[in-house]
Amino acid sequence: MVYIDENTKQKIKKIKLNSTYFLINFENVITDNNCSDTWNAITNNIKVKKSFTKKIEELRFKCISIELNNNLSFDEKCEATECVWKEIIELFRELNIDENKIKRFIGCKSNIRIRDGVKNFLKVANEKKIPVIIISDGIFEIIKYFLSYNNCNYDNITILANNIFASTETNKIIHPLNKNELSVSDDIISEIKDRKVSILLASSINDINMLSKAKLNNSIKIAFLDQNINENFDIFLNYFNIICTHNTSLDLIANKFKNM
């Protein structure tokens, strides 16, 4: 099912290709809703010690605790979360995963699955020269090779995610609280500065924060709500203009732009 509010229907009719770009959450948008995240794509395919698993679980719980701590300001939460995220990345670096192993995970054993219509959608976005910014607090290398494996890692795509091959001291950490378009490089900012309409493809309410506040009014916010639909539908209506349920295909969006 796809719900679109009336104002958005009119806004869509006025969209121009050269004024638009896509801002996309990787998990449960590029992938379907029944698969693991990029971190589990590694741990599901190699043997890890119980101590490793326990430590990762502790760190993830710590992140949730930080986010829910009302005694901390947002900046303090971001700083604390980044410290925890660095620990997580360093632990994964200690697994000594190389790029060849990641390619094998994607090609053979990974339980990351692409959402229906994604290949067509990314192909059309490339043909129409619409910038695509994919943001994730997951692993850059997994996302890159996942797109390449599916023959859709085009030049118009920018991936913002965590590089487990690089030092956390020199590379920007993408975590749940700073996962937004403000993290993009100056080159990408320059590329999209004249594109006033951002189309957000999200899978959670928190993904709204991927948009800069200055662009909220001009954006089209699309949510893919595939779990606990009845409980969450009305809540999502408060944040999104379009709500797609039951693993909606991205062909819906691709076909709209293909004919422009």
* CATH code where residue 98 lies: 1.10.150
Distance CA 141, CA 60 (A): 21
Last residue of one domain, picked from the residues 84, 106, 128: 106
Over residues 36-63, mean pLDDT:
90
Print the domain residue range for 171.
Answer: 2-35+113-258
pTM to 2 decimals? 0.91
Over residues 163-178, mean pLDDT:
83
The mean pLDDT value of the chain amounts to 89
For residue 109, what pLDDT is reported?
A: 53
Q: Is the pLDDT of residue 260 over 60?
A: yes
Say whether both 144 and 26 belong to one domain.
Answer: yes
For residue 7, what pLDDT is reported?
A: 86
For residue 158, what pLDDT is reported?
A: 94
Say whether both 30 and 44 belong to one domain.
Answer: no
For residue 180, what pLDDT is reported?
A: 82
> Cβ of 95: how many Cβ atoms within 10 Å?
13
Say whether both 6 and 19 belong to one domain.
Answer: yes
Q: How many residues does the structure list for the chain? A: 260
Say whether both 253 and 146 belong to one domain.
Answer: yes
Range with top average pLDDT, 170-179, 211-220, 232-241: 232-241
Last residue of one domain, picked from the residues 106, 140, 159: 106
Range scoring the smallest mean pLDDT among 40-54, 144-158, 179-193: 179-193
Distance CA 132, CA 106 (A): 22
Counted domains in the chain:
2
Number of helical H runs and strand E runs in the chain: 10, 7
Say whether both 160 and 95 belong to one domain.
Answer: no
Q: Is the pLDDT of residue 170 over 70?
A: no
For residue 8, what pLDDT is reported?
A: 87
Say whether both 31 and 61 belong to one domain.
Answer: no
* CATH code where residue 148 lies: 3.40.50.1000
For residue 151, what pLDDT is reported?
A: 95
pLDDT digits (tens, 9 = 90+) for 64-113: 999 899 999 989 999 999 999 999 999 999 998 888 888 888 876 557 88
Q: Which residues contact 102 (CB under 8 A, 6 or more apart)?
A: 42, 141, 142, 145
pLDDT digits (tens, 9 = 90+) for 202-221: 999 989 988 877 777 789 99
Instruction: Give one word for 73, left, alpha or beta, with left for phi > 0 and alpha for psi -120 to 50.
Output: beta
